[in-house]
Amino acid sequence: MSDLKPVQILLVDDQPGKLLAYESILSSLGETLIKAQTASEALAILVKTDVALILMDVCLPDIDGFELASIIRQHPRHERTAIIFVSGVRMNESDLIRGYETGAVDYVPVPVVPEILLSKVKIFVELYRKTHLLQELNEQLEQRVFERTRDLEMSGRALHQSEERLRLASEAARFASYEYDASNGIIYLTANAAQVLGLEDSRSITLSEFLGHVHPEERTVAERSLRLETSPETETEVEFRFTGNRGSTFWVLNRARAFGNAGEQDQRVLGTFLDIDHHKRAEEHQRHLMAELDHRVKNVLANVLAMARLSSANATSVPQFVAELTERLRAMAAAHDLLRRGNWTAAPMHELVRTALAPFMSGRHPNIITEGTPVLLPARPAQSLALLLHELATNAVKHGALSASGGQVTVIWSASEGEDSFKFAWSERGGPKVSKSDRRGFGLSVLETARSDLGGDASWEFRQEGFVFQLRGAIVEPAFEAQAFDPPVHEPRAQSPTANDASLSILIVEDEPLVAMQIQMDLEDDGHKVIGPATTFQKGMELAQRGGFDFAVLDVNLGAADSSPIAECLVAQNIPFVLATGFNDLDSLPSILRDAHRINKPYEVRDLRSILGQCQKAPAGN
């Protein structure tokens, strides 16, 4: 490729030394290297210059690389220009998604490995050349085919040349060309069609035989794309599933154009078949990822909303409510940071305790003593324990051992094999005399949440020497036993005028304990009886099979499972239900759940009341 004209490669980095290193690595390609140290310099170059590739540092002095990439993509000339990000900071999943959304094609970490960088740049330079060459060849092919319809002898020679060039281009780009002859109903394929379509060494195939390989759902559109009988010069572009001779099914993109007179025997259709299965699978995977991201964000918002509403129940002023909610959210954020460092799988218990209690520790004397064995907590109990530690410490500062000089808190935990594999104890001494309060605050709800997430037992005592809390559970596979403790008790609020007149017995299946408590509180405030809540699939199925209730509220995702089997059980018993979900895309839901009533997280209690009202008014059996 030495006889080809050099292409332009733009290097963007604010460090001259790195630019010099990139220039040294890439000089062997023989391409033109343009350097820029700021985003402004890069944009000024790109306005005047057509480049094949941009090698860009993520961290720039004026704007970051993500913003620069977005600006570049807005220019028509650079909508498809390849961008490779260089980063000296480890990129997390959200950074990678953001980069790819702005149009990045790859990432290169620092320190740069010269061979890898050279190989990647060479690939995109060659792809740039081949893309431009392919565009030119397609234009030449269309012109030569048009000339063939006017002069058979000249078009024969032109077709031979174009077929040869197309063969080279298609082998490089891995697509197959074809020509459909309407006079005999035969599709003539190029040699590489066997590789693309999986038709072995077939060079021709009848239209009916070809359609036999097409998925029945797309067979009609595939046939129309091949016939193109409506008018001359008609163009089409359709996608369909195709099954080769070896039985593998994949997606194919057909781009076609008709030549000749509509309805006449000499009409021909020229086109290309491109294997886009990888692209379609990537689209489907991305769609599922976005749906899952949407679901998780809605779950977080639902937890925050539940936390806010539960916090407001005992707040005496707006500033107090804001301060308490802010500190609780910070406790959850600290747990999230630990989980992020552990790839969202687990967090070390000692780091969780140190992070949660650091604001409460005194530098003068050891007012908080911690001791425990190495334990890795899964994501859900880690978040619950972070909030639990915050509530225990806050209560100790307000009313317990940390409110007095010389008071002391001891935190001990351990892990072992067995049913109760995790043990946690919080004990206070040296503070003022404590007594049990008649009010039920947010803190007590948090104690029960931690207990449910660990699937174990919890106890607390207001002893003479101070408050004591103990927790035992299984951290490997947390399970929630709804009957292991009494349901939360709260002071009844004034019943809403929109509440249902008739009392119902309602099953709650929700794997977020705070959200489950809030739904339970709303339903009980409206005079309904709550069954559960159940925060695991197993407990939800057990209660559903037991029956004996009028309605159910089901979360769609229950850990690694979904609630489809529970919904099937309810349908079999003719028990109506509503879904509480963070999914907005119905295709992301199992088929049996798509027609059910839904309330989106974070939910509004008026929506739940409305659905309950509809079900109460509906005739039996509907």
pLDDT for the residue numbered 507: 94
Using an 8 Å Cβ cutoff, are 93 and 113 in contact?
Answer: no
Start-end of CATH 3.30.565.10 domains in the chain = 314-484
Q: Which CATH architecture has domain 314-484?
A: 2-Layer Sandwich (3.30)
pLDDT for the residue numbered 478: 35
Rounded CA separation 392/396 (Å): 6
Q: Name the phi and psi angles at 607, rounded to 5.
A: -65, -40
Q: How would you class 429 by CB atoms within 10 Å of its CB: exposed for 0-12, middle for 13-18, buried for 19 or more?
A: middle
Rounded CA separation 369/472 (Å): 20
- 486-489: Cβ within 8 A, 24+ apart: 487/520, 487/530, 487/533, 488/440, 488/444, 488/445, 488/448, 488/517, 488/520, 488/521, 489/440
What is the residue type of 285? H
What CATH number does domain 505-617 carry, 3.40.30.10, 3.40.50.2300, 3.50.50.60, 3.30.56.10? Answer: 3.40.50.2300
CB atoms within 10 A of CB 333: 10
pLDDT for the residue numbered 277: 84
Rounded CA separation 365/199 (Å): 80
Q: Which CATH architecture has domain 8-130?
A: 3-Layer(aba) Sandwich (3.40)
Q: Is the dihedral of CA 159, 165, 168, 169 positive or negative?
A: negative
Helices (H), 179-276: 193-197, 207-212, 219-227
Start-end of CATH 3.40.50.2300 domains in the chain = 8-130, 505-617
What is the residue type of 586? L
pLDDT for the residue numbered 87: 80
User: Which homologous superfamily does the CATH classification assign to the domain defined by 174-275?
Assistant: PAS domain (3.30.450.20)
pLDDT for the residue numbered 486: 34
Using an 8 Å Cβ cutoff, are 200 and 245 in contact?
Answer: yes
pLDDT for the residue numbered 411: 94
Q: Is the dihedral of CA 566, 568, 572, 574 positive or negative?
A: positive
462: Cα separation from own chain's centroid = 45
| Average pLDDT per 10 consecutive residues for the chain, totaling 622 residues | 76 90 90 91 88 88 84 83 80 73 80 88 88 82 75 69 70 75 85 76 84 90 78 78 85 84 66 85 74 60 64 69 70 66 74 85 76 84 80 84 88 77 90 71 61 71 88 57 32 38 84 77 86 84 91 82 86 88 61 75 76 68 44
